[in-house]
Amino acid sequence: MTTLSNHMTMPQSARSHAGHVMHTVNPKSQEGRVLLHLIRVGSITQLQALELYRVHRLASRISNLKLKHGVNITSNSRLDATGVRYVEYAI
């Protein structure tokens, strides 16, 4: 899991762009909550999105943030301790 300290190493341009986009996204919407999490923490997984924000379709929210708002979000395939694959989205 990415910690807040990892967020601090995020390139300044990515942080400022995401912060600028936050002004155009409703912070109470699912997209807004996901974007705010990405800005604060640096990454998010489907399980985190579901547990923290009750977002069931994280991939769709990520797609909207990329296409509608131009946020540069990367997706990285990971394996958990039991060998199950999951995707971690990072800014």
pTM as predicted? 0.77
DSSP codes, the chain: ---HHHHHTS-HHHHHHHHHHHTTS-TTSHHHHHHHHHHHHSEEEHHHHHHHH--S-HHHHHHHHHHHH----EEEEEE-TTS-EEEEEE-
User: Which tokens is 57 given?
Assistant: 């379709």
β 43-45/85-90 pair status: antiparallel
* Poorest-pLDDT segment among 12-21, 49-58, 79-88: 12-21
On the question of pLDDT at 85 being above 80, the answer is yes
pLDDT classification of 25: cutoffs 50, 70, 90: confident
The tens digit of pLDDT for each residue in 28-43 reads: 999 999 999 999 999 9
Q: Write the Ramachandran bin of 71: left for phi over 0, alpha for psi from -120 to 50, otherwise beta.
A: beta
Q: Which CATH class is domain 4-90?
A: mainly alpha
